[in-house]
Amino acid sequence: MLKIKDLHASVEDKDILNGVSLNVNAGEVHAIMGPNGSGKSTLAAVIAGKEEFVVEKGEIFLDDQDISEMDPEERAHKGIFLSFQYPVEIPGVTVTNFIKTAINETRKAKGLEEMPASDMLKKIKAKADMLDIDRKFLSRSLNEGFSGGEKKRNEIFQMAMMEPKLAILDETDSGLDIDALKVVANGVNKFRNKDNAVIVITHYQRLLDYIVPDFVHVLMDGKIVKSGDKELAYKLEEKGYDWIKEEVKA
Amino acid sequence: MSLKDKLLSSYIAFEDHLEEDSPIHDIRNEAIKVFEAEGFPTKKLEAWKYTSLNSLLKENYSIFPKQDHSLEFKQVKKYFLHDVDTYKVVFVDGVYSSFLSETTHDKIDVCLLSAALNKPKYKPVIEAYFNKAAKQDSLSSLNTAFAKEGAYVFIPNHKEVEKPIEIINFSTGNEAAIMLQPRNLIVVGENSHVQIIERHQSLSGNAVFTNSVTEIFAEKRAYVDYYKIQNDNTNASLIDNTNIWQEQESNCRVHTFSFGGKLTRNNLNFYQKGERCDSTLKGITILEDKQHVDHNTLVHHIEPNCESHQDYKGIFGDASTGVFNGKVVVEKEAQKTDAFQQNNNILIHDKATINAKPQLEIFADDVKCSHGCTIGQLDEEALFYMRSRGIAKKEARALLMYAFANNVLESVKIPELKVRINKLIANKIGVRLGFEL
C-alpha cells in the first residue's frame, strides 16, 4: 500500500531524513520508534505532505501512485490520515462542524454527494460512543481548551470518522493516562481491517501492548537502522537505543 | 469651487429657509463657524494621519437632493430583516420615505428628527439632548450645521422595546454624486432596552459621501444594543460619528461590521457619566481591493467601577488598508475601572496594510486595564492541520478566517442578524461553507 524508497527530506536546508525506505502492506501495523530528533515526526509530516519540508530525493507511493508532489488535501482524499502529535486549536469551529466539513470535502473530491445529515449524525454518534466521547464535547471549539488526552481522543475520533486507508499516529500515546490509552487503542483496533494499515510512531513500548505491531522499525539520524517484530520494542524498552547505535557503527 | 466653499455658501441658503425660532438656530450658526475655521481634516492631524479624505473631496456633490426619489420595496427588500418584525426609519437620498418606513408614537417615539426639531412638544427633549454628546470637531459640526433629518428615537423609562429598530439610508444614484448628512438622536430612558440596526446603502455606483452623526443617551440602567452594517458599494464613503453618553449602570454595546465601501471612518466615542457603566465595542472588518476602514474609538472612563470591552478583528486582502486607533482614558476619579481592549489583524496579501495604535491614558491608580494588538498571517500549522483532513487550501483559509472573526459574532443578540452577517462574511471571503458558525 505505502512504498517509500530512499526518502531524503530537509527543512530550511537542514537534512532530517537521510534515505528512509519502508513498505507497508494492507492489514499491517508498523511501529516506528527512535530517540528524540531522529526524524520520526518529520517522516509522518512528509508522508502527509507538509510543505515546509522539501523532499530532496526518493519516492512515496500510495497504491502504486506517486504522491510525493501532491497537496496535503489530495493525499487526505487518497486515504492518508495523520493524527497530530500537537493538534491545532481552532476556536470558533466546533468538532462536529469540522469533521462534517472534512468528510464532505473529501467526498466532493471523490465526486460523491455530501453525506446525508442523518447518516452523518448516526456515524458521529457511533464513533463518539466507541471512544467514550461525551456528546457535549462535540459542540466545543476544535481542540480549544482540550486536555492533552481529549486532543488525542479527538484525533482518533476524526480518524474513525474519515476511515482512511493509511493512518499515521504521531505520538498518540503522549499525554494519555492508562485508561485513555486503552480507549484510544481500542478505537484504533476497531478501525483496523485487512484493507487498511496503521503506522504508529512512539517513544514507548507501552502503547504497543495495546496496538500490537507486525513490524517495529528503529529510526535514527533520519534512517531506518533496524527492523524487527514486536520483540524489538521490548528490547528497546529494556535496553534503550545505545546498543543499536553500537551495532550501526560496527 | 471646493467642497468646503460649496458647503459654506449652501449653508446661507439653507439657513434662510429655516424658521428663526428653531431651537437649534444658534447651535447651527456656531457649528458652521467651527467647520469654516477648521475645514475638512487633513493627514497633518494626528487623528487623521492614516486616512486621507482628498479623494472624496474632489467630487461635485449634490448637497440638497431633489425630493421624491421613491423606491419600490422589492428593490431594497434584501437590506431589511425578514424573520423579525421591526420598526423602520428609512431615508432615500436623505429624504424620509414614509412608504418604506414603519414608525410609531405608541408609548415610544420612533420617528423623524425633522418632526422632533419642528414640533413644540419635542422641544424639551431637543433642548436637553440635541448636540450634547456630539463632538465639536469640524465634521460633526458640519453635520450639526446642516442637521435636518434622521432618526429620532425616544424611549421613556421602564420600557423594553420589543422590536428592533432599523435605520436605513438609501442613496439611489439619481444624482451623479451625493453628500448626505443624516443626524440621529436616540434617548433611552431608565431601565429601558432597545436594539438598533443602522445601515447605509447605495443602490448605484455613483459617488456617495455620508457624514453621519448619531447621539445616543443611555439613562440609568438602560440597555442599548447597536449594530452597524457597513457593506456599501465601492464608490460610497462614510464618516460615522457616534457618541454615547452613559448614565449609571447603563450597558451599551456597539457592533460594527465593515465589509464594504470605499472609505469608512468610524469615530465611536463612549462617555461613562455614571458609576458601574458597561461599554462594549466590537468590530469585524474584512476588506479587499483598495478599501479603507479606519476605526477611531474612545472610551472615556469618568466615574468609578465601570467596565469597557473592546474587541476588533480585521482581515485585510489585496491592497486594502485598515486603521485601528483605540483610545481609553481613565480619569483620576474612575477607580476600579476594568478596561479591556483587543485588536487582532490578519494581512492576507503583501500589499494590505494595517496601522494599529492602542492608546491608554490612565490617571487613576487602582484600575485593571489591558490591551493587546496582533498583526499576522494565517497560521500555517492550522492550515496544514485542516488540509491534512481533506479540506482544500481555499476552504481551509476561509474556515480559519471565519474562526478568527467568529467570537465577535457570539455577542450578536438578534439571531437573524447573526445569520445575515455570517453570510456576508462567507460572501466576502468567497466560499460556501456547509454549516453556519
pLDDT in tens, B57-108: 999 999 987 766 678 899 899 999 998 999 999 999 999 999 999 999 999 9
Cell 487633513, residue?
A: B42
Smallest Cβ distance to A158: which of B382, B389, B437? B389
Q: Per the CB < 8 Å rule, is B402 touching A92?
A: yes
**Nearest residue of chain A to residue B401 (CA atoms):** A92
- Please tell me what DSSP assigns to residue B43: T
Segments of chain A scoring below 50 in pLDDT: none
Q: Per the CB < 8 Å rule, is B404 touching A92?
A: yes
Residue B101 in domain: yes
Q: What is the pLDDT of residue B111?
A: 97
Tell me what the pLDDT averaged over chain B comes to. 93
Residue type, B296: N
pLDDT at B300 over 60: yes
- d(Cα A205, Cα A31) in Å, to the nearest integer? 9
Contacts of B190 by beta carbon, 8 Å cutoff, 6+ apart: B157, B158, B219, B220, B221, B222
Here the ipTM equals 0.96
CA of A51 vs chain B CAs: smallest distance (Å):
8
Identify the CATH number of the domain in which residue A242 sits. Answer: 3.40.50.300
Q: What is the pLDDT of residue B199?
A: 97
Contacts of B412 in chain A (CB under 8 A): none
Residue A111 in domain: no
Query: Which of A93, A103, A115 is the best substitution to test chain B (most B C-beta atoms within 10 A)?
Result: A93
Q: What is the mean pLDDT of residues B281-296?
A: 97
**Residue B328 CB coordination number (10 Å):** 25
| Residue (of B334, B331, B341, B252) closest to B295 by Cα position | B341
Share of chain B above pLDDT 70, in %: 97
- d(Cα B269, Cα B298) in Å, to the nearest integer? 5
CA of B411 vs chain A CAs: smallest distance (Å):
13
Cell 500549522, residue?
A: B381
Cell 437649534, residue?
A: B24
**Nearest residue of chain B to residue A109 (CA atoms):** B390
Q: Is A88 on the interface with B (CB under 8 A)?
A: yes
Cell 422590536, residue?
A: B163
Residue A149 in domain: no
Q: Provide the domain limits for residue A238.
A: 2-91+167-249
Q: Is B137 exposed, middle or buried (0-12, 13-18, 19+ CB in 10 A)?
A: middle
Q: Is A247 on the interface with B (CB under 8 A)?
A: no
pLDDT at B437 over 50: no
A101 within 8 A of A73, measured Cβ to Cβ: no
pLDDT at B431 over 80: no
Q: Is A84 on the interface with B (CB under 8 A)?
A: yes
Contacts of B127 by beta carbon, 8 Å cutoff, 6+ apart: B23
Q: For chain B, which residues lie within 8 Å of any Cβ of chain A, measuring from their own Cβ?
A: 379-382, 384-393, 395-396, 399-400, 402-407, 433-435, 437
Query: Half-sphere exposure of B114 toward its Cβ, with a 13 Å CA cutoff?
Result: 13
Q: Per the CB < 8 Å rule, is B392 touching A48?
A: no
B106 within 8 A of B161, measured Cβ to Cβ: no
**Phi, psi dihedrals of residue B264, rounded to the nearest 5°:** -130, 130
**Nearest residue of chain B to residue A93 (CA atoms):** B403
Query: Half-sphere exposure of B410 toward its Cβ, with a 13 Å CA cutoff?
Result: 12
| HEC sequence for B94-138 | CEECCCCCECECCCCEEEEHHHHHHCHHHHHHHHHHCCCCCCCCH
**Phi, psi dihedrals of residue A46, rounded to the nearest 5°:** -70, -40
pLDDT at B17 over 80: no
- d(Cα B50, Cα A133) in Å, to the nearest integer? 51
Residue B212 in domain: yes
Contacts of A75 in chain B (CB under 8 A): 388
B421 within 8 A of B415, measured Cβ to Cβ: no
Contacts of B408 in chain A (CB under 8 A): none
Measured at the CA of B135, the angle between CA B278 and CA B143, to 5 degrees, comes to: 120
**Residue B151 CB coordination number (10 Å):** 30
Residue B333 in domain: no
- d(Cα B52, Cα B49) in Å, to the nearest integer? 8
Same domain? B270 vs B396: no
Q: Taking the CA atoms of A181, A182, A183 and A184 in sequence, report the sign of the dihedral they define.
A: positive
B367 within 8 A of B332, measured Cβ to Cβ: no
- d(Cα B42, Cα B47) in Å, to the nearest integer? 9
- d(Cα B110, Cα B167) in Å, to the nearest integer? 10
Contacts of B400 in chain A (CB under 8 A): 90
> Considering its fold, how many domains does chain A have in total?
1
CA B311 to each of CA B224, B256, B285, B292, B402: distance values in angstroms, whole numbers, following the listed order: 18, 10, 11, 19, 15
| Residue (of B38, B2, B46, B39) closest to B294 by Cα position | B46
Q: What is the pLDDT of residue B435?
A: 53
pLDDT in tens, A117-161: 999 999 999 999 999 898 899 999 999 999 888 999 999 999 999
**Residue B298 CB coordination number (10 Å):** 18
Q: Per the CB < 8 Å rule, is A91 touching B407?
A: yes
- Please tell me what DSSP assigns to residue A27: T
Contacts of A81 in chain B (CB under 8 A): 388-389
Q: What is the pLDDT of residue B69?
A: 67
Q: Is A11 on the interface with B (CB under 8 A)?
A: no
Residue A229 in domain: yes
Contacts of A93 in chain B (CB under 8 A): 399, 402-403, 406, 437
- d(Cα A56, Cα A51) in Å, to the nearest integer? 13
Same domain? B129 vs B266: yes
Same domain? B254 vs B391: no
H or E element in which residue B404 lies:
helix B393-409
- Please tell me what DSSP assigns to residue B421: H
**Residue A18 CB coordination number (10 Å):** 17
pLDDT in tens, B195-220: 999 999 999 999 999 999 999 999 99
Structure confidence at residue B432 as a pLDDT band (50, 70, 90): low
- d(Cα A149, Cα B48) in Å, to the nearest integer? 51
CA of A102 vs chain B CAs: smallest distance (Å):
6
Q: Provide the domain limits for residue B148.
A: 3-274
Q: What is the pLDDT of residue A91?
A: 83
| Residue B429 grid coordinates | 471571503
**Nearest residue of chain B to residue A87 (CA atoms):** B385
Q: What is the pLDDT of residue B21?
A: 66
> Considering its fold, how many domains does chain B have in total?
2
Residue B374 in domain: no
Residue type, B53: L
| Residue (of A199, A186, A202) closest to A22 by Cα position | A199
Q: Is B177 exposed, middle or buried (0-12, 13-18, 19+ CB in 10 A)?
A: middle
